[in-house]
Amino acid sequence: MEIKEEMIAKIRSIGEEVKFNMGDIILHEGEKGDKVFVILSGHASVFKKGPDEDEVFVGLVGPGSVLGEMAIFLEGERTATVRASSVVRALVFDVDQFLSAVSKVPELAHSVLKELSKRVNSLNRRIVNVITSKLMYVIGMYLLENQKEEAYYYPSEERIAELRIKKFCAEYGVEVSKIEAVLTTFQKAGVLSLEKSSISADDGKEDTLYIVRFDPNKLKSYLRSIAYV
């Protein structure tokens, strides 16, 4: 989140000015957030932990940038490490000071609300992506476990599996539309091909049968790429 100079001027007397030398840690990922910083001058680098716990550079922040405000409102841990890339001068606010600033400056309150809304929307998208990725993994593993060799006139590395939609949904408790959406995503990614037909289910009602053709190695590779989303 960034705020303009006029807004900084209105809250300057509430906070305290601090200085960080190049290389100093301003925020540390995983720590409890109990302070907010507003950069007055200088720049800082933002890092997040990667899968192997190594630091991954994600961006640069400068004058006007507000750091740590989300941890205050969400009462959580720091989500990134911020390290000074030059000499940095900043205003620091404890929880009470920052809440006082927000209550006294409507423009700041509006900026914070906008940022909170963005974070919530982003979190919702991530949750949807995680759910979809897990479902893709389940379907992919089902295909691999139920694969069989195709007739000789198809490429030797290609396998075939049958997927009865309603039966699968009943076993795994998933909606038909979500299964079909995942199969379509696989197809668009070039991981498999589909043939769709109607058949009679065990209860005599109509079910949808997908004949799925795929290269097991290609499917496994794709599943590995989404397993940690």
pLDDT at 58: 87
Kindly report, residue by residue over 57-80, the tens digit of the pLDDT: 888 999 999 998 877 777 678 888
Read off the pTM.
0.54
Among 54, 72, 104, where does a domain finish? 104
Determine the Cα–Cα distance for residues 60 and 57; give it in Å rounded to an integer: 9
What range defines the domain where residue 154 resides?
126-226
134 and 64 in a single domain? The answer is no
Cβ neighbours for 170, distance < 8 A, ≥ 6 positions apart = none
Q: Is residue 19 part of a domain?
A: yes
Kindly report, residue by residue over 124-158, the tens digit of the pLDDT: 666 667 678 888 888 999 999 998 865 545 555 78
Q: Is residue 160 part of a domain?
A: yes
98 and 139 in a single domain? The answer is no
* Count of domains observed in the chain: 2
Q: Is residue 119 part of a domain?
A: no
24 and 95 in a single domain? The answer is yes
Q: Is residue 87 part of a domain?
A: yes
Q: Taking 90 as the threshold, does the pLDDT of residue 82 lie above it? A: yes
- Contact at 8 Å (CB) between 119 and 76? no
* DSSP single-letter state for residue 150: P
